[in-house]
Structure 1
């Protein structure tokens, strides 16, 4: 079964398609002409020097002569996002290259389209010498089976080219979509152009036989007047229509596909700025066609109305596993305007009825004489698959046997060690184990999320690691810690409940079990259901692990805070509202409820509190405190350090004493978390909120804010990690412990004393930060530490440095840190 997956963005679809690697065969590469047999089309492969080193056409390129081309047949539709070109060097014999070129493409081999960038330019700047590879992004990307490179030069000259295409297979199978042309809006004194700018079909009153912005792999922002693309006009990301132009109150769109497919769903990215008269569609009615006639029974879908969040979102239309090669949908208006920025389809491979296949389609013709060969090939494939399955199963059984044997060996070893006299064990431990002690102090945390994949791959690039990798694996403790939510996506607490502890000659062995918690928070007295109609949207804070995070005003929240100490005003209060996205699966829903249960148990003056929930209907929401002065990072960056001896009075200055008091509050909150064996995993000033009288509370949604995207590093296009705050073992080994939180506290303390004027290791790129992490691992005194802030005494800087000790066991605990900071504060 083939399932089509919606592209997040074309930036993840950048794989070489086979000119260099040889997946594209010689017979799939053709050209208009060739200068000689040794410069034929098949030699136009990037980084290959076969033949005379490149494809060279028979005639010199002329400024207005675009007849010469190098053509590549990809056999199936592909999403092409990047092209690479190179000249011909041929060991010094030739020195030709294309200074500029055009790209043409086709989906059927008949109709050819010239690629244009988002400003309408067709010429692509190519090579300036014959050696270097020049890569150019195709923005917008193209969807094509055939691609042509056409060299263009100003003077008459001989050109030669080697090329590569980058992208991925176009699994949607969408060949064209037709729709009414986008319209123009007058809004707040400016013109908003909501047309499909990059549509490659015919455009008049309607768009026909083409693809464009609705399939370019990127989608619009919440504010449709702004764009993710630099230098374009307002409304660029969206195609939009006004209700008054359509008497029937709906917009009809037709989608043609490459073959008959079994459609499961359609995802439509809609704008929903309802305060500006823009809403997602009220209803979608979709008809299906497998041959020449449209089926009479449509699928009718009505999304849930949302007048709470003005955020743009994907609406998933269930298509009910209908078979079709074309779909026609009517989208009904829900307000004055309707705007789409992306449409994608999910389908399974269809079991084809031969009566539905056109007789003149050569790709579906059946050769009766080859029936026996086909049957033989199928039998061979089945046998091979069965052999692979047997091998996989046998490996799993063998692995389990090895694990059981290893477990027994470890248990036997532990029993023997415990039976030995204390003095003998101490002597052996000091003489034989000193070399591995620094590596044996870390509790191993296994990230449960699929998006956090092997951080140790970063470390494998370090030569020294390969020699010590097995040692680190052997001395790692066998503890298991439950992680709340997928690691690397959003910062959430990890929880470990210690159920047994054994002490032998000063060494501790912990056994940690997973805690199963009930998933019905609505019945807990501390987690009462809050009427969602009392929430008023104020601002979108960003995207979290489960969905969006909103800043809202809550009316009547006081009655849900009966155990809150102090005076509470009757005025609406600011709260942060985390929501679960509409298309969340069952596992995400359970994780969301588990997080509610975990956070509801936290009661500390320096930890953000869960106030109420909305779980009786979708979307699920959790409502937490939000402090009136925002996050600590932004708060401090607006201040300057008060000079010593100068009396306070300027609201834009802050004293060193207050900074230490803030740090001590954070250490107090972390002391509380560590006492419950919680691991925060993303402690930073962006995750601390500031209230009245400089009260600090630790939160966990800093990463959800678009403001702090630069603080996170994407590893291999998947895991997103705050590497500038992370300990070396968290980055390189995937270990998150209370000791790694201590490391992050040291960086947070450095942020506070620098008033967040710059990012940690601002002089380093992300890659250099990771290299420096490797120096901590090697421990050869080459690692670079954060410098001492100007206002920081030596004693406080020593505390920071102790938080960054290589050996986690040597780092202070939060209890020790809090006691030390209280002394400095007093």
Structure 2
């Protein structure tokens, strides 16, 4: 039965891999309920009875539609979001207003679409002319059906109503399309060229609907016209669709413009697949110098961060100089396995043009038949059989006038194969029920086990810093004896299912067991010989170890954890009065919103009379006759009771911090709502923006009046950050979000460490939202923080190394900029496995080798091998 189902899946994927937009118009399930309420969310709702679950076309439950809160302003961005649970080829959107049995009078006159294939990188849909706006409804009851040209390949979709005046808006929707079974999530290729031949119109052959980015004349990270389902005509100057310009259906390249004589393309997929073949629709108008590619060579790699397999699949095309018709060329791939392909298409003439590329592939039966976690039904073999049945039971949607036909429940005559499919489906459903019951039971057992007290971990590294010297010394404490019965870590989550059993970690990963205590400084990675970070050099730490259960995480108003602090510290603080002064609220004049989070906002305010109020010795900037600017954190009036308590605890903790390199609490407003805390504001902004707008000091920068920084400036910044982190470590505080975006500068380039970064939209891409968990800065986090949820001073040391890397790259790029968020998490798994496949940040061009060695020390795989903070030898290390 397993083999039969697998063959059925493979044959089905072969038959339907090439999408036809004219036939891919099936309703996706808003009206009939196949899209569940849990998969429909919204940015806001007016009432519970106008929540997102009521945004279903032709349905009148609740108050008849989804309505965002309040009247919509032209500048507002409110959205209805849907999770389609799988990659989908979306071709049509239908909308209605709120009819509510003749009592409603709200509808969206216009709307936009944002979409995402991974819920992290959101893109705005545009038509072929670059317009984002889709015309919506003109009354509350009629459906308006809009074809999407180009169609969208997505899993997540947001509908954003647009208004030119203040209106109340409500929406009901249905989506139409079909599953994107190719699994292709992105392709990269050289930018298309423009053909300019005498006697012919100028023909741009670029990928005009590509939704990735263009860097250095190469398309990266998106999908476009090669996956829109439209095959070009024999004459590439003619187009299949209405109105586009000549050459619209093709992406083409000129041989002499590329140099190597081939076009290299890379393809990334949603999961590992066994590839049967690749179909390439290519033009062959040889009278204009265009021919099908002469040969192609493809290599594969198993995972996105692994190396390319050196063994290639090659295919030579039989060229035809008599028939100028465009054609599909099928390239056999020999059932090679991989998550990505890189193919080189060799030129046979001056030009090469493609209009469509698709893949035929299957997945290993065990991956489908024995999922490690409960999958969505459509990712299993049963799900694909269900989609075969859905495809057979729905008629193609031929145009806007046929929407009632598509939405009606039509049933074709039964054929001989239907009973077989039903029998298979029933069997698989029963097996899935058994699997789900087992998974739920395992989750229950895990929750019971998590309630048991966990042992305190021993791998704590503390940080010793001095405040004014100019160098770093990296030291680590001696290893305390360990009970061989202690588990190496408390718990593991995320990534591969093999990490879900903590008790088996010692067996699966012997390097985490007691036998691996004696480690070198690198653990299998060929790193520089770093004499400064030799472990166990007699440093006696006065800071006791604390495990995850010992730490209180305070939820700051900006949505971040302010600091992870010892529970004893918080308990003792809750029994004391707030020591910060209560400032009259009228002395704070609002100037600008700096950011916002789940529970509150951060404002830039002008404080009048603050110097006189706080008295001499207050940590205020030099005024020079100007008003004092301060940052004000304000708790929202609708914040939860827990958020209010956390806010007061944060004030108490902030009032204790007194270091020249830590942001200072100046005063508070807590006698009435909204609760506020007033902190220093640095006029030079954050370090990330400051450095990204500067060049290294040189004769050229002076001549062009470009702001510059010197190597001494960068070293001074590093010393100050280390000094501030030393102070936090001395109090047993763990920052959890150290980065240049959280380092503020005053006019004298004095750095003060803060926690505002997460609240600012500018840095939203630096944070990764884990479903059901927190928003985390994974590119700055140690592997144990990502995989184990473990934050210690040692994880702050790791983040300090990444922050140093940012400083010496002048914040020109994001750490691991070539990796997606998922690949960053996979890379942390490589640190965990310690098999020498982990990827490190490369040495910045401006950075002395000795300083990069110090960064590498901070990124040690084992906690005990990481350094402690010190500022004693940083300058001398840079000089060497």
With structure 2 as the length reference, what TM-score do the two structures score?
0.45
Task: Considering Cα pairs closer than 8 Å and 6+ residues apart, tell me whether 1 or 2 has the greater RCO.
Answer: 2
With structure 1 as the length reference, what TM-score do the two structures score?
0.48
